[in-house]
Amino acid sequence: MYETVNVVGVGGSSRPGSTAEQALRVVLDAAQQRGASVQLIAGPALAMPLYDPRNGAPTPQARRFLTAVAAADALVIASPAYHGGISGLVKNALDHVEELREDTRPYFSERAVGCVAVAQGWQGAVSTLAALRDVTHALRGWPTPLGAAINTTTSRFSPAGDCKDPHVQRQLEEIAAQVVEFATMRTLATRTESARR
Ligand SMILES: Cc1cc2nc3c(=O)[nH]c(=O)nc-3n(C[C@H](O)[C@H](O)[C@H](O)COP(=O)(O)O)c2cc1C
């Protein structure tokens, strides 16, 4: 029997419906089909002032974001490549995760994190995917074995939301499978540990 796990998707750009957001929605839909509950924090919902460690999380957006991350059983992060790396919008949101350093599960610890990068070429897609996986490590998360580097010059999304490139569509669905699987195992392990005490 599977536990219901809560998967939180974070990313996109300031343009609602950006390609990174579409990719995120595909992963979340696939996670939902596997029984997970899902939450999307995308685009404008990520617009927060530049993170300042002296101020913590001063805005409602930042607080909502941190509450969702703290409650997540698994995360998916999707960023466009901006100049070869994570966009400022997404990185600034990730910087705010510093506020979770003293949480019961600090930062992203104990959680699987699926990473998706979107760019207009392979170089930016791959370097941004590597950066997302590095940030996940730095935040003590577990990057899923599979990440997705999406090149929009060869792979587009349909108005219905699925990716027209079946290979990319399958990769995004596999990331969903991996985050749900890890979160389910982790939830069951935590429950077994508590029962033993
Ligand atoms: C400021 C900026 C910098 C960008 N830098 C890169 C880059 O270095 N490499 C790349 O392949 N694409 C780059 N792009 C293209 C975006 O990654 C691409 O447009 C985006 O991922 C596609 O999603 P969209 O639906 O948001 O346009 C850049 C776009 C912007 C606006």
Q: Which amino acid is at 50?
A: L
- In ligand 1, the atom with minimum distance to the C-alpha of 122 is 11
Ordered domains of the chain (ranges, CATH)? 6-196 (3.40.50.360)
Looking at residue 74, what DSSP letter applies?
E
Round to whole Å and give the CA distance between 75 and 28.
10
93-109 b/e with 16+ CB inside 10 Å = b? Answer: bbbbbebbeeeeeebbe
166-183 b/e with 16+ CB inside 10 Å = b? Answer: eebbebbbbbbbbbbbbb
Cβ of 80 below 6 Å from ligand 1: yes
- In ligand 1, the atom with minimum distance to the C-alpha of 17 is 25
Cβ of 120 below 6 Å from ligand 1: yes
Write down the pLDDT at residue 159.
84
Cβ of 22 below 6 Å from ligand 1: no
Cβ of 121 below 6 Å from ligand 1: yes
Cβ of 191 below 6 Å from ligand 1: no
- In ligand 1, the atom with minimum distance to the C-alpha of 22 is 25
Distant-in-sequence, close-in-space partners of 196: CB < 8 Å, separation ≥ 6: none
* Among 43, 35, 38, 26, residue whose Cα is nearest residue 2: 35
Q: Which of 82, 90, 118, 157 to mutate to test the pocket of ligand 1 (most atoms within 8 A of CB)?
A: 82
- The pLDDT profile of the chain, 197 residues, written as one tens digit per residue, is 456 999 999 999 999 999 999 999 999 999 999 999 999 999 999 999 999 999 998 899 999 999 999 999 999 999 999 999 999 999 999 999 999 999 999 999 999 999 999 999 999 999 999 999 999 999 999 999 999 999 999 998 988 888 999 999 999 999 999 999 999 999 988 888 888 88
Are the CB atoms for 23 and 157 separated by under 8 Å? yes
